[in-house]
Structure 1
C-alpha cells in the first residue's frame, strides 16, 4: 500500500502518519519494522532493498520517505542546472522509484511525505494512480474555525462561536500552537463551554496583542496608553525582562520587514523567512512596519538596548527602567 501525504500543514501530516501507524497493528512490533529515509539523499537501491524485505515477526513493514517528491519537482530541476548526463540519470532514478512504489509487496506500506511538490512532478504522475493521496494545505478562515470546533470536541470540550473567532484571529494557522492552546483551554474549562474570557486569559497570543498595543503607544507618543499596557502585561503575569524581550523582538521584526520590503521581496517570502506562522502576528507586524519611519524604529531599538544595560548593571530596577523608557520615547523623536 502506498500513501502520499503532501502540503505545508505539517501538523495534520503528522497526525495522518500516526493514524496510518495505528492501523498497522502492534506498535512495538511495527517500530522494529519501520524505516525512515531522507528523500533528498536516498537512492533507488536503498529503498528497493528495504521495500522488498519481509517484515520480522510482524505482518507489515513501514517505509517513510520524506522529501522525495519535492526532489523531482520541476522547480527543483530548474535550480539544479542543465547538464544532460544529470538529466538522464535523474530520469533513470524516476523510473526506478516508479517501479518500486507501483510494485510494493502486500507486506510493505510506504508513506511519502512532502511539504511542497511543485507542478509537473513526473514521479507523482507515475505513482499517484496506485496511491492514496491526501493534501494538507494551511487552514484559514472558515476551514480553520471548523478545525478549531472539531479539535475542541475531540478534547471533550465545548466552545462558543465568539471564542472560536478570537482563537482563529489570535493564533492563526499554526496547528501545533493551536492544538496546545485548545488542550489548555479544555482542561481549564472542566466541561463547561469555553468562552471569550477564557481565551483572553489563557492564550499566549492575547499577550502578543498587548505587546503590539504597547509598541504602538510608545511609537505614537501615547505615554498614558503605554503605561497602562505595561501594567496590564505585568498584571497578566509577565515579568518586566520578558516584556522588554518581546518589545525588542517586535521592533527588530519591524525593521527586518521594512528592509525586505525595500528589496521588493514578496510578502509570503518575508513571512516564511521570519518564521511568522500566525497570520495575526504577521499582518500586525506588516501594518506596524508601514506605520513608522525606519529612524523612529531604530531610535526605539537603541533605547531598548540602553534599558537592558541599565537593568543588568543595576542602575534601575526592571519596572522603573521600562517606565523611564516609555516616558523618554513618548517625549522625544519624530514619527
Structure 2
C-alpha cells in the first residue's frame, strides 16, 4: 500500500504516521520494521532496499520518506505562478526509477510519502503514483482557519476525554494562536488542572496558559544565525523553563526555518508580501513583517544546513537514540558555534 500524506498540519499528519507504526504491534518490533528516509537526499537504492526488506516478526513493514516531492513544488504567485518547477535530468531519472519501484512494491511493505506542505496537482508525484484501485491513498492535512480554531479545540478536548466551554476555547485560541502542537500541549495541562472532572472554563485558561511568545523562537533563531551561543542558549532554556516540550521547540524551529526558506524562494520569484502571507497561512501582518526581516538575515545555504541538521535531531529523539533536552542543547550549541 502507498500513502501520500501532505499539508501543513504537522500534528495530525505525525499522529497518523504513529498510528500506522503502532499497528505493527510491540514497539520494539515496530521499530525494527520501520525505516525513515530523508527525501531531500534520497537515493533510489536506499528506497529499494528498505521496501524490499522482509518484515521481522510482523506481517508488514513501514517505510516513510519525508519531504521528497515537496522539492518539486513551484512558488505561489508572482513570477512563479502557474509555472511548472524545474526538474534536473538526474531528478527525472530518479523519479522514473521511483515510479517503477512503486509499481512493483511488495504487499508486505506500506510506503508513506510525508510532505510538510500541500502539493499542487502539477506535482510529479501524482503522475508517478500507480493508478490501480485500492493501491494508493492520498490525504491532505490542512490547518484550521482562524474562525475554525475554537471548534478544533473543542473537538480535540473531547477526543482527550474532557470538555471545554466555547468561551474558553476562543480564549485559548487567542492566547496560543494556530500552533496545533502547542495547543495540544496546553489542553493536556488544562485537563490535568481540572482533573477531567468538569468543563475547562475561561478562568482555567487564564490561570494555566500563558500567551504565546513567538519572540522567544525568533530570538532563538536570531541568536543561532548570528553565532551568539549564550543568547541562543538563554532563549532555549527560557522556552524549556516556561514548560515548552522539547518536541514542540524542535517543531517550531523546523517550522520557522521552513517559513524563511519559502519566503526567500517566493521573494526571489517576485511574489508580493500579501501573496506570501496568504500562501503561508500567516494570520497577522506584524508576524509576516518579522518573518521577512528574519529571512533577510540568512543565506539560503545556511537555512538549508539548519534544516538538514534538524531532521537528524528529530530522528534521533523520536527513535530514542538521544534524550530530547540533551539533543536540543547540543543542536543549539552546534548551530550557534
TM-score range, shorter chain: 0.5 to 0.7
Asked if the contact 1:48/1:100 (under 8 Å) is kept, the reply is yes
In the other structure, the counterpart of 2:193 is 188
Point out which structure has higher relative CO (alpha carbons under 8 A, 6+ apart): 2
Asked if the contact 2:73/2:123 (under 8 Å) is kept, the reply is yes
In the other structure, the counterpart of 2:182 is 177
Deviation of 1:285 (Å): 5.7
From 200, 205, 210, the equivalent of 1:204 is 210
Structure 2: unaligned runs, 5 residues or longer? 215-241, 243-263, 265-269, 291-337
Structure 2 residue matching 1:139: 3-state secondary structure: coil
Deviation of 1:181 (Å): 0.8
For residues 22 and 106 of structure 1, do their structure 2 counterparts lie closer, same or farther at Cα, with a shift above 3 Å needed?
same
> Is 1:156 equivalent to 2:161 in the alignment?
yes
CA distance in 2, matches of 1:264, 1:47: 35
| Greater C-alpha Rg | 1
Deviation of 1:128 (Å): 6.4
In the other structure, the counterpart of 1:101 is 102
Deviation of 1:39 (Å): 0.6
In the other structure, the counterpart of 2:59 is 59
For residues 118 and 287 of structure 1, do their structure 2 counterparts lie closer, same or farther at Cα, with a shift above 3 Å needed?
closer
**Residues 114-153 of structure 1: pairs in structure 2 closer than 5 A:** 114-116=115-117, 117-127=119-129, 129=131, 130-153=135-158
For residues 69 and 128 of structure 1, do their structure 2 counterparts lie closer, same or farther at Cα, with a shift above 3 Å needed?
farther
In the other structure, the counterpart of 1:11 is 11
Asked if the contact 1:200/1:206 (under 8 Å) is kept, the reply is no
Deviation of 1:51 (Å): 0.6
Asked if the contact 2:65/2:113 (under 8 Å) is kept, the reply is yes
For residues 110 and 159 of structure 1, do their structure 2 counterparts lie closer, same or farther at Cα, with a shift above 3 Å needed?
same
Asked if the contact 2:64/2:113 (under 8 Å) is kept, the reply is yes
Deviation of 1:103 (Å): 2.2
Deviation of 1:56 (Å): 2.2
For residues 70 and 14 of structure 1, do their structure 2 counterparts lie closer, same or farther at Cα, with a shift above 3 Å needed?
same
From 253, 266, 269, the equivalent of 2:273 is 266
Matched residue count: 228
| RMSD, matched Cα | 3.5
In the other structure, the counterpart of 2:93 is 92
Per the normalisation by structure 2, the TM-score is 0.59
Give CA deviations for 1:15-37 in whole Å, capped at 9, x if unaligned.
11111112222221120121111
Asked if the contact 1:171/1:278 (under 8 Å) is kept, the reply is no
Structure 2 residue matching 1:90: 3-state secondary structure: helix
Structure 1: unaligned runs, 5 residues or longer? 209-237, 239-259, 289-335
For residues 65 and 287 of structure 1, do their structure 2 counterparts lie closer, same or farther at Cα, with a shift above 3 Å needed?
closer
Per the normalisation by structure 1, the TM-score is 0.59
Asked if the contact 2:9/2:141 (under 8 Å) is kept, the reply is yes
> Is 1:50 equivalent to 2:50 in the alignment?
yes
Structure 1 residue matching 2:129: 3-state secondary structure: helix
Asked if the contact 2:62/2:111 (under 8 Å) is kept, the reply is yes
Structure 2 residue matching 1:112: 3-state secondary structure: strand
CA distance in 2, matches of 1:134, 1:33: 23
Asked if the contact 1:163/1:199 (under 8 Å) is kept, the reply is yes
Asked if the contact 1:173/1:278 (under 8 Å) is kept, the reply is no
Asked if the contact 2:2/2:110 (under 8 Å) is kept, the reply is yes
Q: Going by fraction, where is helix more abundant, 1 or 2?
A: 1
For residues 185 and 100 of structure 1, do their structure 2 counterparts lie closer, same or farther at Cα, with a shift above 3 Å needed?
same
CA distance in 1, matches of 2:56, 2:35: 13
Deviation of 1:268 (Å): 6.7
CA distance in 1, matches of 2:213, 2:100: 53
> Is 1:27 equivalent to 2:32 in the alignment?
no
In the other structure, the counterpart of 1:71 is 71
